Amino acid sequence: MKILELNKIKKFYFGHEEISRGLGISLQSSKVSANRYIKQGLLIRIKRNIYVLKEKWNRLEGTEQFILANIIQVPSYISLITALDYYGITTQMQRDFIESVVVKRTKEIEIENAVFSYTKISPNLYFGFRKEKDFFIATPEKAFLDALYLMSLGRYSLDIDSIDFSKFNRAEIRVMMNKYPSKTIKLFKENGYFRKT
């Protein structure tokens, strides 16, 4: 079966060009083949012209899901509880629920057993992330402040008791906090989060 040739593609996600080369068929035929393999349950479409083998999807690591999250919505970065869990700062876990921050609209995309959640924030607050391995992720401090910002707007829930505040760089949080609206700053001060450590 020609699908076995796709296993030779080194990237865990690929497009029509890689299918064309891997199967030795034309680009147009690769599009038809991709649709056929999706119907047969051998391929999963992530977005237009981005596919993952079903067999590989079932074995995806968390960081590979982060890469796909970045690809599904551009630009975006991993944040909120997903990032805090990645850094070992929260005991609050969300299996197969990957949270990202965007400047476009808020939306959720479900692919197979995973939900990719994208939450819109103000363009002025789209900072404080870095490239780690092959994906963009908020710094620990920014992930917390993104959550706090959304909480101040009544758009997010974070279990504060699950947070290990000793793992944050307090100075960095205070510098970044100045860029947030007064509502967020007020929530931060009223709760005195860092008095817990």
- DSSP output for 66-100: HHHHHHHSSS-EE-HHHHHHHTT-BS---TTEEEE
CB burial readout 91-104, b (16+ within 10 A) else e: eeeeeeebbbbbee
Segment 88-108 mean pLDDT: 94
What was the pLDDT predicted at 109?
Answer: 97
From the list 43, 38, 40, the residue with the least C-alpha distance to 6 is 43
Query: Does position 170 have pLDDT exceeding 70, yes or no?
Result: yes
pLDDT surpassing 50 at residue 197: no
Which 3 state secondary structure label does DSSP give 121?
A: coil
Mean pLDDT of 28-56: 94
- % of residues, the chain, pLDDT over 70: 95
In this predicted structure, the answer to whether residue 192 has a pLDDT above a threshold of 70 is no
pLDDT at 4: 73
Q: According to CATH, where is 1.10.10 located in the chain?
A: 3-57
Non-local CB neighbours of 89 within 8 Å, separated by 6+ positions = 140, 143, 144, 163, 164, 167, 168
User: pTM value?
Assistant: 0.92
Q: Please determine, for residue 31, whether its predicted confidence score (pLDDT) is greater than 90.
A: yes
Q: Is the pLDDT of residue 191 over 80?
A: no
CATH top class, domain 3-57: mainly alpha
pLDDT at 6: 81
pLDDT tens-digit map of 102-112 = 999 999 999 99
The model's pLDDT over 108-147, given as tens digits with 9 standing for 90+, comes to 999 998 999 999 999 999 999 999 989 999 999 999 999 9
pLDDT confidence tier of residue 7, bands split at 50, 70 and 90: confident
The overall average pLDDT reported for the chain is 92
- Position 95 scores a pLDDT of 86
